Amino acid sequence: MGCFVRTNRHGYLAFRLRFEGLESHEGTKLKATPENRRKAEARARVIDQEIQDGAFDYLRWFPMGNLAARFLPERESAVGRIVTVRRFFQVWSAADGSRRAVTAKWQRNRESYIRAHVVPAVGSVRLDELTPNCATRSSPATARRTLASSSTGAS
């Protein structure tokens, strides 16, 4: 059990963790310099102490780490839940725009295009049944405007 610092093959520091029967290798963006090693080893001592005390919270230290999915709360099961393209678009367009790495103009343009062309053509299709051919079956004219021929298999 514990945590220690090592240098990976690319010359960066990484944390090697052993806790709760698991092992993980968590990379950092720190080059392996004496100063960076001191900083990383100080963190490793804190992590190691938390592991020994049974108080280690993996997601607090490594929110995007290799084992993060294992520690995230389980999401609502998709079984029995029907999500259509229309509903997905409603949720997507209502999401906080500040989380997206796009401009407000790009966001408005995409939403307008989807609202005008995609939702009318395939809005009632369930996401788990959505295929590239759905737009072609729903509206050949929309498919010609919205999809490249290579994406629909048309020649």
Report whether 15 contacts 36 (CB < 8 A): no
Within 10 A of 15 (CB to CB), how many other CB atoms are there? 22
The last residue of a domain, from among 71, 93, 126: 71
- Rounded percentage of the chain residues whose pLDDT exceeds 70: 75
Structural domain contains residue 25: yes
Question: Once rounded to an integer, what is the mean pLDDT over residues 109-124?
Answer: 87
Question: Once rounded to an integer, what is the mean pLDDT over residues 141-148?
Answer: 51
pLDDT band at 99 (very low <50, low <70, confident <90, very high): low
Q: Does 154 score more than 70 pLDDT?
A: no
One domain for residues 18 and 43: yes
One domain for residues 13 and 57: yes
Question: Once rounded to an integer, what is the mean pLDDT over residues 79-94?
Answer: 75
How many domains, the chain? 2
One domain for residues 52 and 89: no
One domain for residues 18 and 45: yes
- Three-state DSSP state, 31: strand
Within 10 A of 38 (CB to CB), how many other CB atoms are there? 10
Q: What's the domain range around 36?
A: 2-71
Question: Once rounded to an integer, what is the mean pLDDT over residues 28-56?
Answer: 94
Q: Does 32 score more than 60 pLDDT?
A: yes
Identity of the amino acid at 92:
W
Question: Once rounded to an integer, what is the mean pLDDT over residues 89-113?
Answer: 75
Structural domain contains residue 54: yes
Supply the Cα-derived Rg of the chain in whole angstroms.
Answer: 24
pLDDT per position as a tens digit, 1-26: 699 999 999 999 999 999 988 999 99
One domain for residues 93 and 65: no
